[in-house]
Each structure stands twice: as C-alpha cells, then as structure tokens.
C-alpha cells in the first residue's frame, strides 16, 4: 500500500520519507483537495530548477553515495542506511530531487506538467 501520483508524470511517494506535498516546494499550484493536483508550466521552470540546484548542492557528494547504494540494494532499512552513512534527511532530499527532475523534464518536454498526488 502506498501513495501515488499520476497524470503527466507518474510515481509512488517514498514510504515514511516523502510527503504527498513534496511537489509544493518546486512552486506548483495546488488545485484540489483529497488528491492534491499540481500544475507546472514554463513559468515555474526557474523555481523548479532553483530547487533542484538547492537540493543537489545540499546533498553534494551524497548523491553518488545514494545512487551507488540503490544500485547495490533493492530496498533499505535504518541499519543499512547507517552503515552506508546515509541519513534519513539525505533520503528525503534524494526522493524530492527525483520528483523535481520528473517535473522539470515533463515541463521541458511537454510545456506543462499536471499530476494528482494522493493524500
């Protein structure tokens, strides 16, 4: 069981890590309750890119560490993260980075991005 987002981009929010409101940090407009609908277009692109840059700078070299961790592991738990020196905050930021890149790519490729996020 999990919370999904669907529309122009699709995915599943990370369990116990990522809020259904994670896309809000990229400057999207919330459209309706129960499901939260997000809308992005070219006017949002500067905010999207700025937030992606902020996350990437904040994570720094941890991005490669986390990428390599997930290449080697299909799942994770707290002990595994501790051994890999990856914090829960790193995972939260990494999950949001993945979402931000999907939003950005959708806006760049389609001109806009709409999706609904389960609450």
| pLDDT tens-digit readout, 66-94 | 999 999 998 899 999 999 999 999 999 99
What domain count does the chain have? 1
Task: Please provide residue 117's backbone torsions phi and psi, each rounded to the nearest 5 degrees.
Answer: -115, 130
* 118 φ/ψ sector (left φ>0, alpha ψ -120 to 50, else beta): beta
The half-sphere exposure of 48 on its side-chain side, counting CA atoms within 13 A, is: 24
Alpha helices per DSSP H over 1-119: 45-59, 62-72, 78-83, 88-110
Distance linking the first and last C-alpha atoms of the chain: 13
Residue span of the structural domain in which 113 resides: 4-118
Express each pLDDT in 91-117 by its tens digit.
999 999 999 999 999 999 999 999 988
The SS3 call for residue 95 is helix
What local confidence, expressed as pLDDT, does residue 5 receive? 87
């Amino acid at each position: 069981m999990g919370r999904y987002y669907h529309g122009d981009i699709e995915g599943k929010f990370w369990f116990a890590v990522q809020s259904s409101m994670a896309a809000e940090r990229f400057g999207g407009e919330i459209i309706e309750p129960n499901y939260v609908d997000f809308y992005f277009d070219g006017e949002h692109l500067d905010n999207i890119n700025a937030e992606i840059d902020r996350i990437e700078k904040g994570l720094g070299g941890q991005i490669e560490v986390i990428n390599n961790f997930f290449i080697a592991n299909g799942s994770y738990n707290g002990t595994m993260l501790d051994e890999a020196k990856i914090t829960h905050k790193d995972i939260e930021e990494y999950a949001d980075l993945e979402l931000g890149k999907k939003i950005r790519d959708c806006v760049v490729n389609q001109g806009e991005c709409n999706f609904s996020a389960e609450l």
